[in-house]
Amino acid sequence: MAKLSDLRDAIDQKLLVRAMAAHSPLSALLAEEAGFDALWASGFELSALYGLADVSLISMTQHLDMVRAMGEQSSLPIIADIDTGFGNAINVIYAIEQYERAGAAAVVIEDKTFPKVTSLVADGRQDLLRLEEFQGKIRAAIATRSDPNFLIIARTEALIAGLGEEEALKRAAAYEAAGADMILVHSKQKTPDEVESFVRAWSGKAPVAIVPTAYPEMNEERIKTLGKIAIVIYGNHAIRASVTAMKDVFARILKDGGIHNVNRDIVSVEEVFRLQKMDQVKADEKRFLA
């Protein structure tokens, strides 16, 4: 498990933190081996893993258990996507206590009403909380954490809700004033223009996080030129890659009438054994089993 200060240290050093979404200990382990800097404990991905819509159906307990499990298998700092904080400011207080205790490095709380609707779905209901009520959630989170290295990231969905840049900037400034360590701005536009405009106009001191799922042209070179973005979150690519691979393999097995062709294109059982640390198990058996 990562040290709580690892994420803040990287941000303070002006490094661009690359966070990969994860929905399981295995995906967390693979993200770390690939070379990512942090994990995004994605509510969307975990909902998809359960075959459920991302509309606040997954409980805090389910998400928290997965954060703990991922932390046991990975040394990367975990940014926990806790949606709206599972309710009002009182729910946020309890959530912050639990996620900090579980070893998360940060939480992201968004300014939608509970229950939320996933941001990128067409014609989805995107209702935002009153600004003052969300400020209360941020203040509650700041007051509850025991370690200032545990980051509270305020996510504004003003652009997602179609309220425009002025409202997004107004909310971001209010959330920073309430104590948020970072601002996450989200957009469903197909190009980076909207987010780039927001970042250029942002005059606050809090660094910015983005999730360029809808606007994939926003590569890291382009991000770095803006100078204010500290975290880029690749928000749902683990689950999408998993679905792509499984659909392909399952279809090929049925088409071929067996596994004789697909077998050479997927990882070996031995590779899975490596990820499961079977060598250590065998060594322990030799050492301790009579």
**Which active-site residues does the annotation give?**
54
Q: How many residues does the chain have?
A: 290
CA R_g for the chain? 20
